């Protein structure tokens, strides 16, 4: 691995961490597109790598800050985490059976729908 790749990886991690801590965006919105466009990974490889990045820390330091500020609902987080665990298994099975070019389009449409919805909802 060359120094250029290492610098790109560090930039991706830092920007995903900042956005993750600020607004809860990081893996899907920052890391995956950056790995696809700057490192040439397939959508599936970027998705798997993004999940691997989040597996150990899952924003531990950011979660501590939200906890200290009284802005964390542990009960909701636990239920969502269990469902996410199961959903992640099935979602990865589906994604690995979709052609990379189609997966890129599915990802783009999902981001657009979320953005439009958030922009126009009060």
Q: What is the DSSP letter of 98?
A: S
pLDDT given at position 4:
93
Neighbours of 36 (CB within 10 A): 19
Q: What is the mean pLDDT of residues 48-69?
A: 78
pLDDT tens-digit readout, 9-45: 999 888 888 777 766 667 678 888 888 889 999 888 8
Q: Would the pLDDT of 1 be above 80?
A: yes
| Residue 26 burial (C-beta neighbours within 10 Å; 0-12, 13-18, 19+) | buried
Q: What is the mean pLDDT of residues 92-98?
A: 87
Q: Would the pLDDT of 6 be above 70?
A: yes
């Amino acid at each position: 691995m060359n120094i250029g790749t290492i610098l790109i990886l560090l930039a991706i991690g830092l920007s995903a961490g900042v956005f993750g801590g600020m607004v809860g965006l990081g893996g899907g919105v920052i890391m995956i597109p950056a790995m696809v466009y700057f490192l040439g990974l397939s959508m599936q490889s970027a998705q798997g790598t993004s999940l691997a990045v989040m597996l150990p820390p899952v924003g531990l330091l950011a979660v501590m800050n939200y906890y200290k500020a009284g802005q964390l609902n542990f009960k909701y987080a636990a239920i969502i985490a269990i469902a996410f665990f199961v959903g992640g298994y099935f979602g990865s099975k589906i994604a690995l059976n979709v052609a990379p070019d189609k997966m890129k389009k599915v990802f783009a449409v999902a981001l657009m729908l979320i953005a439009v919805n958030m922009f126009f909802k009060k």
